[in-house]
Copies of this chain bind each other. A is one copy, B any other.
Amino acid sequence: MPTESEMFEKGFQNRKAVLGAAHVETSWENADDFNRPAQRLVTEYCWGEVWGDTTLPFRTRSLINLAMLTAMNQHHELAVHVKGALNNGVTPQEIQAVLLQAMVYCGAPAALAAFRTTSIAIKEWHAQQDAGRLPESK
């Protein structure tokens, strides 16, 4: 992995801390020439500049992201950040509370769509956790 800049390094660490090291390393390695500049910009700009600013803790940034992604109907990223939120120690009850807040501010259809995406993502996250806890031996 080429070291692009200090900000990229900082972002890459934050991204791995929130989304899981294996997942992030694989997706960076799998990026092709068409997608790599976008991956680099996101790593620097989202994960370095923003998540690297300690004014707000990761838990709070997760809640804010879930709210904005619901408001903008960005369901791929919502699923990614639901798992990130759980990694950051956000509880399913807190995620539910964010989505209910979104229901009255962003409208019922946007919130119901987010509930569908989020239910699945929470179940996937639990399955991944359970798989991770399985004994390696047979």
Contact = CB atoms under 8 A, between A and B. Distances in A.
B55 A97 contact: yes
Interface string A105-133: 11111111101101100100000000000
Closest 10 CB pairs of A and B: A74-B109, A55-B97, A71-B71, A77-B109, A107-B107, A64-B67, A68-B71, A106-B107, A46-B104, A56-B97
Contacts of A69: 105, 109
* Copies per assembly: 6
Contacts of A111: 38
Chain A at the B interface: SS class:
helix
Interface of A: 32, 34-35, 37-38, 41-42, 45-46, 49-50, 53, 55-56, 60-61, 63-65, 67-74, 76-77, 92-94, 96-113, 115-116, 118-119, 122
